[in-house]
Structure formats: C-alpha cells, structure tokens
Chains A and B, each alone.
Chain A
Amino acid sequence: MIAQILINAVVAGSIYALMALAMVIIYKASEIPNFAQGEMAMISTYITFVMLQVYGFSFYPALLVTILFAFILGFLFEFAVIRRAKDPNLLGYIIITLGFQMVLFGLAGWKWGSDQRTFSLPFSSSSVIFRTDQYAITEHNMASIIIAILVMAGLYILLKYTRLGLAMKAIQQNKNAARFNGIPADRIMGFSFGISAIVGAVAGILVAPVSTLDPTMMWDPLLKGFAAAVLGGMKSLPGAIIGGLLLGLIENLFGYYISLEFKAVVAFAIIILVLFVKPSGLLGKHYTKKV
C-alpha cells in the first residue's frame, strides 16, 4: 500500500510543483502572487479541448496551439493589465490578479458552460502499464511525471544557459539597473508571464483527465501550488519543486493514515505553519536589509 501512496504522492506532487513553478517564475521577477494563474491554465486547457474535440486536431498539434495560446495570454495579461497599473502596492496587484481570475472564470462559464467534460489524451488514466499486487502505475501517472521533468529541465536550461535567462535574473535582482543597462525590462517581464502561463497550462492538461474539465478545475491545484511555493520559499525554483513533491507526500500520507476527509486542508495548514515557523520557506534566502 505504501508503494501506491508514494506513486500517487509523486504524481500529485509533480502537478503541484508545476503550479508552484508557474507562481515562483512571476513572483521572483515582480513579487506579484498571480492568483489568476489557475484560471489561465484552465482556459488554456479548454483550448486543448476545443482543438481536440471541435477541430479534430491530434494531440501534439493541439498541445502546440495551447502552448502558443498560453504564452500569448500570459504576455497580454502583463502587457495590457499589470503594466498599466500606476505604482500599485502588493495589495493592488493581488486585487488585479484576482479580478483577472474572475474575468477568465466568467468567460469560461459563458463560453463552455459549467458542464463537466472529459477529454481523452494519448495517455489514459485507466490503462495500466505496470501492475503488481501492491501497486499499479497508469499511463497517466507515468506521463505526468515525465512531462513534469521535461518542463523542469526546459526551464533550467532556459534560465541557466540563455541570455533571456540572464536578463530575467537581472530583472529579478534589480529592475532599474537592468533598464539602465539596456535590458527592455517590460518586455522581459511579459516573457516571464508568458513562460509561467505555459507551465501552468501543462499542469492544467495533466489535471483535466483525472479531475474533469470545468471552470473550477484549477482551484484546488492553484491552492496546492501556492502552498508548495510558500513551502519552498516563494522565490526558489528548486524550492517550488521540492515543496510540490513534499506537499504531495504529506497530503497522501495524511489522507491514508489520519483522515481522508481532511486531506484537502493539509495545504492550508502547511501555509500557516511555514509562515509561522520559517517565513522564508525551505530554500528561501532571507536577506535582512541593512539600515
């Protein structure tokens, strides 16, 4: 049984880690906690659905369209909404992202209704690829883990070995200085939002087959991703991954050994506990300002 719990934990944890990464990419660059990110992922997942079901695309072209769509959605959100705000404080930003979240939620409800839909992916959650009497691994389990690892590796290469990555890092450390060195900070911030939206969209596509496709599908993953990001330190990408996996593990162990009904509450408890004990998170660096 413990083997099955571990498998479930890693699968759930991979998805939380993706949502946490999406959160951290933006938070690192701008200190904005983007609460619209769940709904952005949901809309992107609907795009995959429409491509597959309505236009009859096969999966990979549909995925490509979704990635493009997600990037544009994220970029436009930054360009048309975030950038227009005049000297907002943190609360202002939170309200903006919550507002955008509601707009997207309303839009999805109006366009696609609140029907729960299912859509099929090349990796099904019912076909088992490996089974013993102790545990079973489905295609969807396997695909979730592999895709999450691919996304993480892609992000690592992007941030570590490209000039876009260096420019993003520069903006994270000192936006003004970056500007004075000729780095177009606004455009690169837009890219960050776009990249974050892609990561979120991938999480959405992985969530949809196991839950269902409806406008509320990303509420839970968003919350879990946020908890994982807080756990990892909000500004650390490895922290987000570790936070996601750890949350998946804690949650599943808690569900099995203590209470299944309260499994969903674990994420909240973790947010509170982390803020209480170590606000900078597991891997967060906490620099105190010298006065």
Chain B
Amino acid sequence: MSLPVLHIEHLSKSFGGVRALNDLHFTVREKEIFSIIGPNGAGKSTIFNCINGLYSPENGKIILQGQDITGKSPNVIAGKGIARTFQNLELFKYMSTIDNLLLGRHMLMKSSIFHILALSVKRSAAAREEIKHRRKVEEIIDFLELQPYRDYPVFALSYGKQKLVELGRALAMEPKILLLDEPAAGLNNEERQDMIFWIQDIRDQMDISIVIIEHNMQMVKDISDRVLALNFGKKITEGSPQEVLANQEVIRAYLGDDLKDE
C-alpha cells in the first residue's frame, strides 16, 4: 500500500452556529485520485479552504507528509506543496497565459531582496534563473496543449481554456498534492473527457496526488481510486467509487429523505 501524503484528523469548522465540518477524518495516499462528493452545502469547499489556509479550522490537524500545516497562511502552505484550482476561477485575468503560469513558480524562485529586485536583462543571474523556470512552464503549456494561447490575456480565452490555464498554473508549482474544485463544471462533454485524461496523466506522469470535488457522478466513477461522501459536514462513508455510490445513505443525501417518507 502506498504512503499517505495528506492526513486529516478531527477537522471541524463552524460559521456562526452552523457546523460546516464536523470531526472529519481522511487520508490521501501517494498517486491516488481521491474524490469528495456531497450535496450543495455539505462542506466540500470548506475542506479545501481549510487545507490551503484560507480558513483556520477550530479543531483538528492537517498533516502533509508528516508535517503539521494546520493554521498556516495560504502562501506558506502553497510553498509546502499544495496547489489548488477554484470552482469560480481565480486567475490573473489581464495577464497572458504564460505570465499566469510563471507566477505559479514564484515561490520556487529565489526570494532574497536581491533576487526580487534583480533586473531580468540578458545574461544576468536573474535571467538565467528565469530561463530555467520558463523551460518548465513551456513543458506544462505543451502538456496541456495551450501553445496557441500562450501570449493571450486570459480573460479573452474561453471558459474551458481558462480552466486549463488555472490547472497549468497549479502544476507550475510542482505540487505534491493538487486540489481540484469542480474541474469539469461548465465544460462540454468533449472538454470533460479531455479533462479526465489530463487528470489521469498528471497522476501517472508527474507523481502528484489529486483530490477532486466533483458533482458529475459519471466522472467520479471513471476517475477516482477512492471516494469520500459528505453530508452536513460529516462523513457518510468512504471507499471505492462503486461502494460509495451504491450506499443507501449517500443516495438519500442526494435525493432527500422526504421523498421516501411521504
């Protein structure tokens, strides 16, 4: 069995009186595609927001490869190797595709005051470093087939392409773990199929563990190694996609119980 990469224990978070997450446990292993499902408001995005430091949980621990990262700030957590994409894209809209991806590498670049103030003119040390990073970014652009769009400002691209740019930017960080918040939402069938292939390729070629929040059950079935089902911030069940999607409680959470009672 492969090693755990991300380990969550006793995770709780409330907003006012509402318990968004209630004593949650799960573990993501190396090179695994792990899906989180649940009806709207079940707390799926809250998990991501806790993991990457946007929210600080009231209780519980988030452990990345043996290191406790609970309550650290988003930029520190990004630096430890957690990258994510968003349900509603968070891009640098007025920058080109390539600049978006280069910003993904920001924290991999040397960060002393001399380096951040260094001019990237020809043959300077800063330029050499930039060339190294540009090479990596070009690889990702090739991988996601974004060459035709590399110099376009992102806001001019289609929604599907914008999602790919965001994915590319996350990959540029060379993360250990990738959090994808509804990667297929808003995509047409063909784009969704492509997205599935890319996600699988990322796992296979880049050795990255992937956590996905997704509503499309077919996609969850096709892509996941394991699935966690959530309702009202609590775990319903966890296991293989077939098991979880056949679980009575999961079905009830999605369809609502009043249907049966009446």
B-contacting residues of A (Cβ < 8 Å)?
157-158, 161-164, 166-167, 169-170, 173-174, 176-185
Contact = CB atoms under 8 A, between A and B. Distances in A.
B6 to A, nearest CB: 16
A163 B115 contact: yes
Contacts of A176: 54, 74, 90
A1 to B, nearest CB: 44
Interface in B204-242: none
Interface stretch (B97-105, B136-144, B188-196): B97-105
Interface of B: 52, 54, 73-75, 78-79, 83-84, 90-95, 99, 102-104, 106-109, 115-121, 126, 169, 173
Nearest to A191: B116
A177 B120 contact: no
B91 to A, nearest CB: 7
B106 A173 contact: no
B96 to A, nearest CB: 12
A162 B83 CA distance: 24
Q: Which one of A163, A164, A170 has the greatest number of beta carbons of chain B within 10 Å? A: A163
A164 B117 contact: yes
B91 A177 contact: yes
A270 to B, nearest CB: 27
A76 B5 CA distance: 39
B116 A164 contact: yes
21 contacts: A161-B120, A162-B116, A162-B117, A162-B118, A163-B118, A167-B103, A167-B116, A170-B103, A173-B92, A173-B93, A173-B94, A174-B90, A176-B74, A179-B75, A179-B78, A180-B74, A180-B84, A181-B103, A181-B104, A182-B108, A185-B75
Nearest to B104: A181
Contacts of A178: 92, 103
B92 A163 contact: no
Contacts of B94: 173
A46 B95 CA distance: 41
Q: Which one of A158, A164, A166 has the greatest number of beta carbons of chain B within 10 Å? A: A166
B79 A162 contact: no
Nearest to B115: A163
Q: Which one of A166, A173, A181 has the greatest number of beta carbons of chain B within 10 Å? A: A181
A104 B94 CA distance: 37
Contacts of B99: 166
A182 B90 contact: no
A182 B79 contact: yes
A181 B107 contact: yes
B95 A169 contact: yes
A163 B106 contact: yes
Contacts of B121: 161
Contacts of A179: 73-75, 78
Nearest to A162: B117
B136 to A, nearest CB: 15
Q: Which one of B74, B107, B109, B121 has the greatest number of beta carbons of chain A within 10 Å? A: B74
Contact of B103 (A158, A164, A183, A185): A183
A185 B94 CA distance: 18
Contacts of A157: 119
Given A162-B116, A170-B95, 6 more contacts: A158-B117, A163-B116, A166-B99, A174-B90, A179-B78, A183-B103
B117 A180 contact: no
A161 B119 contact: yes
B119 A182 contact: no
A161 B116 CA distance: 10
Q: Which one of B83, B106, B108, B115 has the greatest number of beta carbons of chain A within 10 Å? A: B106
Nearest to B130: A163
Contact of B78 (A170, A173, A182): A182
A161 B130 CA distance: 12
A262 B99 CA distance: 48
Contact of A177 (B90, B102, B109, B119): B90
